[in-house]
Amino acid sequence: MIERIGANIRGKFVEFGYATGFFLSLIKGSFFFFRQKHVGLKVLMMQILFTGFEALSIIILLGLALGVVIIVQGLAILPQFGQGDLIYTILDVVITRELGPLLTAFVIIARSATAISTELGNMVASQEIEAYVSVGIDPIDYLAVPRFLGVIISIVLLNLYFNIAGLIGSFFVAQFIQTVTIAEYFRNLLVFSQPASIVISFIKSFVFGIIISFSATYNGFKVEGSTTEIPQVVIKAVGQGLALCIIASAIITALSYLWF
């Protein structure tokens, strides 16, 4: 029993070592990626197309819907307390700071993290990764780094679009409840929102991008040879991605109130 617990703990340390090494390889590969003519550039473009462009419609829809929910609820409740203008602060905090990056991350986890870990797992099982090694191509440089960069770039841009859609969506719905001119709406938004929110939103989406792409690629490569392992690693990639993004969001939010 003790021996099994010891072996388990030792295994966790070994895995932590592998994960750290893999992460450092991703960072190193990312640093050098644009410095040389890289065969992985096409992989990066494809990843941005899949993660960033093809998810645009769902992200805009979610942003609009969230904006609608906040404005409808806010304009129904807040004026009762004489705090109607607080709606702009709530829009800023909820859409820009908190739910924008987080919901964008959830969409990316559902669409791209699952796809990446499934694809890489299949490639390991069908010996395609070994084939890359055999021709001299480093699978981390060629397969993981472009996906890592692609997801980060995409999530930062999607978060931006989510924010724009959420704030514009709110404006149009506000027209049905209370007539506000576009100039007044955005002036109020600027007055009541904090510039720090944009910085925090950017930091969050960047960190979420790192977490999601790392957990997806790392778990994908963890398949040892059997296709039955693929659903298991996909579940791990999704679970780790969700949990780590929420934890990271809480930490960044807490730190933001200390620093800003």
Partner 1 sequence: MIDNNYSIELIDITIAKNNNIILDNISFKVPEGITTIIVGHLGSGKSTLLKTISSIIVPNSGKVLINEKPYTSMSAAAIKAYRKSCGFVFQDSALWANKTIYQNLELPLLYHFPDIKKENIDNKIKKTLDLLGYEGNINRRPSDISAGNRKLISFARALITDPDILMIDSPETSIDFSSHGKIRNIIRDLKARGKTLIICTYDEYITSMLADHVVVLFKNKIYASGSYKEIVTSNDPVIRRIMSHVLDKVSNFDGDILNLINPNS
Compute the least distance from the CB of residue 23 to partner 1, in Å: 19
**C-alpha to C-alpha distance for 60 and 105, rounded to whole angstroms:** 14
Are 188 and 74 spatial neighbours (Cβ–Cβ below 8 Å)?
no
Q: Which pair of structure tokens corresponds to residue 128? A: 């395609």
Q: What amino acid is encoded at 120 in this protein?
A: L
Binding letters toward partner 1, positions 190-229, x by CB under 8 A: ----------------------------------x-----
Find the binder of partner 1 among 19, 25, 119, 172 (CB under 8 A): 119
Binding letters toward partner 1, positions 141-170, x by CB under 8 A: ------------------------------
Instruction: Please report whether residue 98 would count as binding partner 1 according to CB under 8 A.
Output: no
Helix (H, G, I), strand (E, B) or coil at 29: helix
Q: Which is closer to partner 1, CB of 83 or CB of 227?
A: 227
Per CB under 8 A, which region of 67-75, 84-92, 125-133, 234-242 contacts partner 1? 125-133
Q: Which is closer to partner 1, CB of 37 or CB of 82?
A: 37
Compute the least distance from the CB of residue 37 to partner 1, in Å: 5
| Straight-line distance from the first to the last Cα atom of the chain, in angstroms, rounded to the nearest whole number | 50
145, 144, 136, 150: which is closest to 119 by C-alpha? 144
Per CB under 8 A, which region of 9-17, 68-76, 130-138, 161-169 contacts partner 1? 130-138
Q: Which pair of structure tokens corresponds to residue 16? A: 């932590």
Q: Which is closer to partner 1, CB of 15 or CB of 130?
A: 130
How many residues form the binding site for partner 1 (CB under 8 A)? 19
Q: Which pair of structure tokens corresponds to residue 237? A: 């990639």
Binding letters toward partner 1, positions 5-44, x by CB under 8 A: -------------------------------xx-x-----
Find the binder of partner 1 among 80, 134, 179, 228 (CB under 8 A): 134
Per CB under 8 A, which region of 53-61, 135-143, 172-180, 208-216 contacts partner 1? 135-143
Q: If DSSP states are collapsed to H, E and C, what string results for 30-57?
A: HHHHCCCCCCCHHHHHHHHHHHHHCCHH
**C-alpha to C-alpha distance for 210 and 27, rounded to whole angstroms:** 10
Compute the least distance from the CB of residue 243 to partner 1, in Å: 29
Are 217 and 227 spatial neighbours (Cβ–Cβ below 8 Å)?
no
Instruction: Please report whether residue 133 would count as binding partner 1 according to CB under 8 A.
Output: yes
Compute the least distance from the CB of residue 48 to partner 1, in Å: 16
- The beta-strand segments (E) located in the chain are none
- CA angle 27–32–34, rounded 5-degree value: 115
127 sits in the region (left: phi over 0; alpha: psi -120 to 50; else beta) called left
Q: Which residues bind partner 1 (CB under 8 A)?
A: 36-37, 39, 119, 122-123, 126-128, 130-138, 224
